[in-house]
């Protein structure tokens, strides 16, 4: 695998660390900026909002631009956003810096994925994508708890400086190792008008709702995991980085297992993972006052929530058919719609005086809604498959549809 692909993975590690590290910095940030915990939690939503808007917009806007130049520009803007966050004198300035950083992050994902696949040797395209996605997984395992540890030892602003430094390394790596290239041409050139047709398909919108609900359930709880551990479970604040690291290990394990079983039974994997997430959240709501149970169920949530990730990604690309550019962007937007809704809902619950156990119950309800959406998507898929079967094979010369996943 070319070193350039690993440089892209390192860059994604920086992006993912910035997106999720707020969960481990909520309390010191809230104290320093003189805001409430729910207000600090909205900084997670701020990043997600930028990703929701930036993914489809920048996926289309950068189709005709040289890829290496685009990657460098986006990673530079992202790094400057981290510097602005580290220097932010007020909550409002920090909020805006998060949105700007997220826009650059979304664009980097859209272009970086295409570059990684184009650089990979024949037969190793999926492996190239796994390196990029692996950067996000490692961010959960190492970056988020490391950010929490830095925040405890040297102040929350130090975590932003660390991510800015990683971004600078990423820029240097891209300039050095990613070859100059233009956008795809000829038969490989994406046609935005054709790809926009995916939004006429009900299955695409059901998948958007499903991904958003699953993410909302996960990050409704994860965004407030730190104060739940300290205020409800009674753990010392020094335990937070360790538990966040364990959550990340669970997420990495869940992704690995889910990736192995999803190809065989796509909807079955989604049913199993989302139902298990619902159960884990409900149990956490009941036992969050017990330290061992809170830690164990936080790890279990990492496993179950990310167990479904490969299946959800595959379902979006299958539903979108021949529109891979916007399928990937829509996938990213749907995930971050959930990242926006989840912390917001959790903040409403806390503001209503229902406490962190109430947040777990709200997350469980969101996850239960995701189970219902999976059922609706499965039924619609079966009806569509049955209709195609009844209609018979397409006329000679007509484009063939991809076979759907096993339900």
For residues 67 and 181, the answer to whether their CB atoms sit within 8 Å is yes
CA–CA separation, 56 vs 78, rounded Å?
17
| DSSP state string for 170-185 | HHHHHHHHSPP-----
Q: pLDDT means per 10 residues in the chain (407 residues)?
A: 81 85 83 85 80 75 75 92 92 90 84 72 59 72 80 88 92 85 58 64 82 90 88 86 84 79 77 92 93 92 85 73 64 80 88 90 94 85 63 46 34
pTM for the whole thing?
0.72
Residue that has been written with the tokens 């156990």 in this structure = 357
Residue 301's SS3 state is helix
Give me the pLDDT at residue 376, please.
85
Residue 216: closest CA among 305, 283, 293, 284: 305
Give me the pLDDT at residue 343, please.
84
For residues 363 and 339, the answer to whether their CB atoms sit within 8 Å is no
CA–CA separation, 370 vs 367, rounded Å?
5
Give me the pLDDT at residue 28, please.
87
| Domains assigned to the chain | 1-183 (1.20.1250.20), 193-389 (1.20.1250.20)
CA–CA separation, 159 vs 156, rounded Å?
6
CA–CA separation, 81 vs 167, rounded Å?
10
CA–CA separation, 29 vs 32, rounded Å?
5
Residue 315: closest CA among 208, 390, 192: 208
Give me the pLDDT at residue 117, please.
67
Give me the pLDDT at residue 17, please.
87
Residue 222: closest CA among 280, 136, 291: 280
CA angle 55, 26, 86 (to 5 degrees): 70
Look at the alpha carbons of 259, 264, 265, 266 in this order and tell me if their dihedral is positive or negative.
positive
């Amino acid at each position: 695998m070319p070193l350039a692909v690993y440089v892209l993975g390192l860059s994604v590690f920086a992006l993912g660390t910035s997106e999720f590290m707020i969960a481990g910095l909520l309390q010191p940030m809230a104290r320093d900026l003189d805001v409430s915990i729910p207000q600090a939690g909205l900084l997670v939503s701020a990043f997600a909002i930028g990703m929701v808007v930036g993914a489809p917009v920048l996926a289309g806007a950068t189709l005709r631009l040289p890829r290496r130049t685009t990657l460098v520009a986006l990673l530079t803007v992202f790094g400057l956003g981290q510097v602005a966050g580290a220097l932010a004198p007020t909550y409002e300035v920090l909020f805006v810096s998060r949105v700007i950083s997220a826009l650059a992050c979304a664009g980097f994902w859209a272009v970086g994925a295409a570059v990684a696949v184009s650089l990979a040797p024949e037969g190793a395209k999926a492996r190239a994508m796994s390196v990029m996605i692996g950067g996000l997984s490692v961010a959960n395992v190492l970056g988020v708890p490391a950010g929490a540890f830095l925040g405890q030892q040297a102040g929350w602003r130090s975590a932003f400086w660390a991510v800015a430094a990683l971004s600078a390394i990423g820029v240097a790596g891209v300039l050095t190792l990613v070859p100059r290239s233009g956008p795809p041409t000829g038969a490989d050139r994406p046609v935005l008008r054709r790809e926009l047709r995916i939004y006429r398909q009900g299955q695409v919108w059901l998948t958007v709702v499903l991904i958003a609900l699953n993410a909302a359930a996960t990050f409704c709880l994860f965004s407030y995991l730190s104060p739940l551990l300290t205020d409800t479970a009674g753990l010392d604040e020094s335990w937070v980085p360790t538990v966040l690291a364990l959550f990340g290990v669970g997420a990495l394990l869940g992704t690995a297992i889910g990736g192995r079983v999803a190809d065989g039974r796509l909807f079955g994997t989604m049913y199993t993972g989302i139902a298990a997430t619902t159960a884990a959240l409900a149990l956490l709501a009941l036992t969050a006052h017990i330290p061992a149970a809170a830690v164990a169920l936080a790890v279990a949530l990492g496993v179950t929530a990310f167990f479904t990730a490969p299946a959800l990604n595959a379902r979006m690309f299958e539903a979108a058919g021949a529109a891979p550019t916007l399928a990937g962007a829509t996938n990213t937007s749907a995930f971050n719609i959930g990242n926006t809704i989840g912390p917001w809902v959790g903040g409403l619950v806390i503001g209503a005086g229902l406490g962190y156990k109430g947040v777990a119950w709200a997350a469980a309800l969101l996850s239960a809604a995701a189970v219902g959406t999976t059922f609706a998507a499965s039924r619609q898929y079966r009806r569509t498959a049955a209709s195609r079967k009844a209609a018979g094979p397409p006329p000679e010369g007509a484009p063939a549809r991809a076979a759907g996943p096993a339900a």
